[in-house]
């Protein structure tokens, strides 16, 4: 009897193993369909996997994602609840993301935030949870809290483009932080349509308040709040009033006769270097995310004479001819920049 029992156990184990292997294969087929935008076909594959291996956590997790992507939010929510109840000790980071997204897209932002917070209790260093929480907070018009969530996401993952893009947009009224966030975005992505939008934003921010009149005189407009902050030298969080003033004056020099033959990229380099120089001068005792986290990155970039390759890299998002020529002629400098940026020690 013992031999028969052992054979039955062995046979059952083999069948389970085969079914699980086939189920995982179905799930991988479903993922390919999902990535192609064929969500309903993907869901069918996951269902096939679940017939072979009931409650397969891999299949359930992916099915929930495809349901959420196909706007079947209630179904996605139910599966996420089922997974968390069934497998409380497994790695469920992505389940919390799908669960929160489905709730947010269902108009239940308060519940979505609770789900993200529950996920963060278990996975406090998972940047994606902070990013998605930031999106929900933004949609709920809680911009300051959203900014804090995006900032935390970048600290946990300094290569997360979407968080830097969000910070650039949310700080558009505070142009230096917006420029710094967009610039970091462009060091990571200079090819997508969103990259071009970030460079558009930087150029627009740099030119803000500066124009040339018909008589060739320069009009320089600086808002009163910036002047007051600069004059009083207030050490408020993320106060860039001094840098703001210098950038405006540097932008006005674009119209100076001695700079008339400079290219757009050369003028950009002048302005960005002037920002870095003044940030270096006034950094002491400044506080806030931008001063403490992002500014040191640009100061080191300037100290290592890497502003020039940086400028040409970000202008590649425009397919700028000068930037393309620079890349061909100075591939060593481009490589040097990327090597430095990749190995930069974020603090």
Q: What percent of the chain has pLDDT over 90?
A: 76
pLDDT of 16: 43
pLDDT of 175: 94
Q: What is the pLDDT of residues 256-296, one digit of tens each?
A: 888 889 999 999 999 999 999 999 999 998 999 999 999 99
What's the angle, vertex CA 68, arms to CA 67 and CA 69, rounded to 5?
90
Extract the runs of DSSP E, i.e. beta strands, from the chain: 210-212, 218-220
Q: Which domains does the chain have, with CATH numbers?
A: 91-157 (1.25.40.10), 160-211+218-347 (no CATH)
Q: Taking a C-beta distance cutoff of 8 angstroms, is the pair 172, 201 a contact? A: yes
pLDDT of 137: 98
pLDDT of 209: 72
* Residue 9 confidence (pLDDT) above 50: no
pLDDT-based confidence at 22, cuts 50/70/90? confident
pLDDT of 267: 96
Rg, Å, the chain Cα set: 26
Long-range (24+ apart) CB contacts under 8 A made by 25-28 are 26/52, 26/59, 27/56, 27/58, 27/59, 27/62
Question: Higher confidence at residue 220 or residue 206?
Answer: 206
Q: What is the DSSP string of 141-206?
A: T-HHHHHHHHHHHHHH-TT-HHHHHHHHHHTTTSHHHHHHHHHHHHHH-SSSHHHHHHHHHHHHHH
Task: Quote the distance between the C-alpha of residue 127 and its chain's center.
Answer: 10
What's the angle, vertex CA 249, arms to CA 225 and CA 317, rounded to 5?
100
pLDDT of 18: 54
pLDDT-based confidence at 8, cuts 50/70/90? very low
Q: What is the pLDDT of residues 61-79, one digit of tens each?
A: 999 999 999 999 999 999 9
């Amino acid at each position: 009897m013992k031999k028969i029992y052992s054979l039955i156990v062995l046979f059952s184990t083999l069948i389970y193993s085969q079914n699980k292997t086939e189920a995982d294969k179905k799930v991988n087929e479903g993922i390919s369909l999902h990535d192609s935008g064929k969500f309903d076909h993907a869901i069918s594959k996951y269902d096939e996997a679940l017939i072979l291996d009931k409650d397969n956590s891999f299949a359930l997790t992916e099915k929930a994602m495809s349901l959420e992507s196909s706007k079947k939010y209630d179904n996605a929510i139910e599966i996420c609840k089922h997974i968390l109840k069934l497998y409380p000790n497994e790695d469920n980071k992505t389940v919390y993301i799908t669960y929160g997204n489905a709730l947010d897209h269902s108009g239940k932002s308060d519940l979505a935030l609770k789900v993200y917070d529950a996920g963060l209790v278990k996975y406090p260093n998972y940047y994606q949870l902070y990013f998605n929480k930031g999106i929900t907070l933004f949609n709920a018009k809680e911009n300051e809290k959203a900014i804090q969530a995006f900032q935390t996401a970048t600290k946990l993952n300094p290569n997360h483009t979407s968080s830097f893009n969000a910070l650039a947009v949310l700080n558009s009224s505070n142009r230096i932080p917006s420029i710094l966030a967009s610039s970091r975005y462009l060091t990571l992505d200079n090819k997508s349509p969103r990259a071009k939008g970030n460079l558009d934003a930087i150029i627009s921010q740099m030119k803000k308040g500066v124009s040339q009149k018909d008589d060739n005189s320069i009009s320089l407009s600086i808002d009163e709040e910036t002047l007051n902050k600069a004059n009083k030298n207030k050490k408020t969080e993320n106060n860039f009033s001094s840098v703001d003033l210098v950038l405006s004056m540097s932008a006005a020099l674009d119209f100076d006769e001695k700079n008339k033959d400079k290219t757009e990229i050369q003028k950009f380099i002048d302005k960005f270097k002037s920002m870095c120089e003044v940030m270096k001068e006034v950094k002491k005792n400044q506080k806030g995310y931008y001063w403490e986290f992002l500014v040191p990155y640009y100061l080191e970039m300037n100290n290592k004479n890497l502003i020039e390759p940086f400028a040409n890299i970000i202008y590649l998002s425009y397919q700028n001819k000068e930037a393309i020529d620079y890349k061909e002629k100075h591939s060593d400098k481009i490589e040097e920049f990327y090597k430095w940026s990749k190995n930069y020690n974020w603090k």
